[in-house]
Structure 1
Amino acid sequence: MTAYTPATPATPATPATPATAPAPQGPAAPGARPAARRSATPYGKLTALVQEAGLMRRRRGTYWTRIAATTVAFGAVAAGTVLLRDSWLVLLPAAALAVVITQFAFLGHDAAHRQIFATHRHNETASHVFAAFVAGLSYGWWMGKHTRHHQAPNQRGVDGDIESGVISFHEEAAASRRGLLRWFTRHQGVFFVPLLAFEGFVLHIESTRSLVTGKRTKRRWVDASLIATHWAIYASSAVLLMGPWKALAFFGVHMAVFGFCMGGAFAPNHVGMPIIPREKKVDYIRRQVLTSRNISGGWFVDLIMGGLNFQVEHHLFPSMPRPNLRRAQPFVRDFCAEHGIPYTETTFIGSYRAIISYLNEMGLAARNNFTCPAVQQLRS
């Protein structure tokens, strides 16, 4: 079932016989195999090219500069909050805080992919600090869901990012909606962008639920301790500085902007790209490339999306440091052209046009209770 046709002249071919995908390392990073065997595969040859170009090497200097700059920005926001605490203009630093926290969350993402430090222990420690202590989100919960996403992006039954109780990302979900949710699904393209304001709340609720239930949560008590400390500092500081009502408004603005920042960075990457049925076998390269969308733009797009605008390159090389993804793009693009694999790239605005159009198309499944079995079989 193809959910969206990439804006390229080529049409995706039927996937070839599946090749053995690299074993996950961190969140689905390519695993180690004997060099001779690895280089004999198309993916191995591409890997050899980017390694020879030095693109898998750590960029510690760049990352330390980024960490320092983000910390300084956090300090500036804290100072602004103190200065404006007696005015409702204090809601401006609340929005700025969300932007800064998002940047820390991106650093946590990079550390989880082992992009920053040489050892797993140092990367994991950094992920706990950036995600749990600074952003207030469980690293263990995120690690589990994000690893499954990298292993099988946009595949039914595996990738939880396309299984939502609110948005219908595929026809089967849309057709199953009933009552008020069915009406919402028919118009979900219109509501999608406003709903991003609630994404911050949803992330924190799901994170907390994972800590309470303990399901698929690595080092649950480490996360729980760091998150409890995060909210204790946050709540006490806000109430003491601004009083309860202004602190509540501050929190609301912070969460809404955080939702826009996080959802706005992740949604363009896969929403509207092909959905892979549960039992469909697709080789590793096509699985990662066909379901991913790159977002073109300069340094500003790189900043607001945390480097995830190079989603194709990130999925092919999850442990590649973020600053190297742009340099890897020509290698990947030429590889895809050589092997006839459609490589999708569009602008930030263009991605949201595609997303809204796709969600509206999925909404059509909620408008008609009858599905012709012959047509459904042909679509599959």
Structure 2
Amino acid sequence: MTFEEKPEGNGSLVDENQLDLSAKHQANGKPGASGRAKLPARQEANTKSGLPRKSLSTYTWQEIQRHNQETDQWLVINRKVYDVTGWADRHPGGRLVLNHCAGEDTTDVFRAMHPDPDIVRLYLKPLLIGELAPEEPNQERNKNSQLVEDFQELRRTLETMNMFSANLRFFFLHLAQAQGSFLQHDMGHLSIFKKSKWNRLMQIFLMGHLKGLSAKWWNNRHFQHHVKPNIYPKDPDIDVGPLFVIGDLQPVKYGKNKIKFINYEKQHLYFCTVGAALLMPVYFNLDSIRAMYCRRYWEDIAWVSSFYIRYFITFGPFYGIFGTLVLIYLVKLLESPWIAYVTQVSHIPMKMNTEENQDWFSSQVLATCNVEQSFFNDWFTGHLNFQIEHHLFPTMPRHNYHKVAPLVKSLCAKHGLPYVNKPILKAFGDIIRALKKSAALWMDAYYSHPET
């Protein structure tokens, strides 16, 4: 979610180079007519007149929270108010990430998702429209201000401890072990190399050439999941209908509306036998192709095409066209259950709800859980058994998660939040138990309510 190059200029609010928001940063890959963000009238007037900082407008939280629509998006970062409406379509992490956070304080979200926020702040300057009124608190009044301050202090401590510095030998070792899924995931969070362009090139190579999937498609989905985990309808990872009904809300909604695409009473069996196996070769592939075609991701199309070309050149002479396609499918089929279980153990059994606008720390801790540390668990999950730490600090190299876990657990205990840490077999079993619980809710709603 960072930008590829640091803009040059004198750093003023109206620096022309800062206003030149290049088309290469657009999420949809389409250059605009001028390559510049369209600024709202208030911003344009402020930038043209060169108003000093003290003349910036001040706003209350009540005013800011009204600007939470797709066509009207304001964000608050470190008490500064930004109108990102015109910039949303150019956001490298996808426009929906901004839309999901509109009208909120996003200080911790911004810091968590950007490994080099100083660069991004230069692009924010033309979008600045004001600041919080002096009498307003740093966050919305419903948030636990002490918890927010404690978490921000924890992050500063971890930065001082160099916990965000990567050990490249660790990642080269995983590359040698052919763990491309983990590496492309890390490159998406831009936590390995300091220069974002190298992260981007490495990720698109791993995702497109080695795995045959769109990097932009993955990032747009995955960043939404990180920003709003287990939140309906903002987290695409829990939007698995009509194949499954999960959580407490979706099953009741489907049941009351008499929706029955499959027999959800048996969905835990479908997940074990069909769902996990078809996640990669069918669902992910089709959704990736759809996104590339509809959004014209030409670069991703080229890289994904190179994946299939490589397979046909290598295996075509031996197995023919049909045999090579079967081989591709089988490879993805073998990988799919592993991906499904490693990713879903931390989320399906956890709380799912509609937007509650919680602070960053609470929203991540309540929606995720860990799998206990062991040599096997660390290797099998690629250190993503520390999902709580990963969600709190997405740009932290995963080899440091076990080091920061005790500090996170201590902060949870201080503020009365659960820090869930399970044995791996129990975590796998909890997926099945959660699916059965949701199925029971669906059945109760489906058979208890008359058709309307």
What TM-score results when the alignment is normalised by the length of structure 1? 0.76
Q: Which residue of 2 aligns with 1:150?
A: 226
Measured in 2, the distance between the counterparts of 1:127 and 1:252 equals 22
Change in CA separation of 1:246 and 1:221 when aligned onto 2, cut-off 3 Å: closer
Match of 1:361 in 2: 437
* Structure 2 unaligned blocks of 5 or more: 1-103, 122-137, 139-144
Residue 190, structure 1, aligned to residue 269, structure 2? yes
Rg larger for: 2
Distance 1:204 1:282 in 2: 33
Output the CA distance in 2 between the equivalents of 1:121 and 1:29: 13
Work out whether 1:22 is the aligned partner of 2:108: yes
Partner of 1:119: 195
Tell me the SS of whatever aligns to 1:297.
coil
What's the C-alpha RMSD, in Å, of the aligned pairs? 2.8
Deviation beyond 3 Å, 4+ runs, structure 1: 18-21, 23-34, 37-40, 177-180, 243-249, 369-373
In structure 2, the residue matched to 1:268 is 345
Question: SS of the residue aligned with 1:270?
Answer: coil
Return 5+ residue gaps in structure 1 as ranges: 1-17, 71-99, 374-380
Q: Which residue of 1 aligns with 2:357?
A: 281
Question: Which deviations, in whole Å up to 9, do the C-alpha atoms of 1:308-363 show, x marking residues without a partner?
Answer: 11100011111111111111111111121122111011022111211111111110
Separation of aligned partners in 2, 1:115 and 1:29: 7
Residue deviations 1:63-89, cap 9 Å, x none? 23333x23xxxxxxxxxxxxxxxxxxx
Distance 1:231 1:314, change over 3 A: same
Q: Distance in 2 between matches of 1:108 and 1:170?
A: 29
Tell me if the contact between 1:22 and 1:30 (Cα under 8 Å) persists in the aligned partners: no
Question: What SS does the aligned partner of 1:314 have?
Answer: helix
Distance 2:237 2:311 in 1: 29
Residue 211 of structure 2 corresponds to residue 211 of structure 1: no
Which of the pair is proportionally richer in helix?
A: 1
Identity percentage over the alignment? 22
Question: Any conservation in 2 of the 1:20–1:283 contact (CA below 8 Å)?
Answer: no
Conserved? CA contact 1:174–1:362, under 8 Å:
yes
Number of aligned residues: 316
- Give 1 or 2: higher strand fraction: 2
Which letter maps to 1:204?
Answer: N
Q: Could you tell me the TM-score, scaled by structure 2's length?
A: 0.64
**In 2, Cα distance between equivalents of 1:19 and 1:342:** 24
| Deviation of 1:256 (Å) | 1.2
How far is 1:58 from its partner? Answer: 2.2
Query: What secondary structure, in the 3-state scheme, does the structure 2 residue paired with 1:269 have?
Result: coil
Equivalent residue for 2:71? none
Aligned counterparts, 1:1-380, within 5 A? 20-24=106-110, 27=113, 41-67=149-175, 69-70=176-177, 100=178, 103-165=179-241, 166-175=243-252, 176=254, 178=258, 181-183=261-263, 185-194=264-273, 195-201=275-281, 202-214=283-295, 220-244=297-321, 246-278=323-355, 280-369=356-445
The change in CA–CA distance for 1:353 and 1:292 in structure 2 (over 3 A counts) is same
Distance in 1 (CA, whole Å) between partners of 2:166 and 2:225 is: 24
Instruction: Give the conservation status (yes or no) of the 8 Å contact 1:24–1:30.
Output: no
Task: Find the residue that maps to 2:436 and give its secondary structure.
Answer: helix
Say which is worse superposed, 361-370 or 335-344, in terms of deviation.
361-370
**Could you report, residue by residue, the CA deviation over 1:170-213 in whole angstroms, capped at 9, with x for unpaired residues?**
34432416575252x11112221222110112111111110010
Distance 2:203 2:440 in 1: 41
Aligned to 1:83: none
Q: Any conservation in 2 of the 1:23–1:30 contact (CA below 8 Å)?
A: no
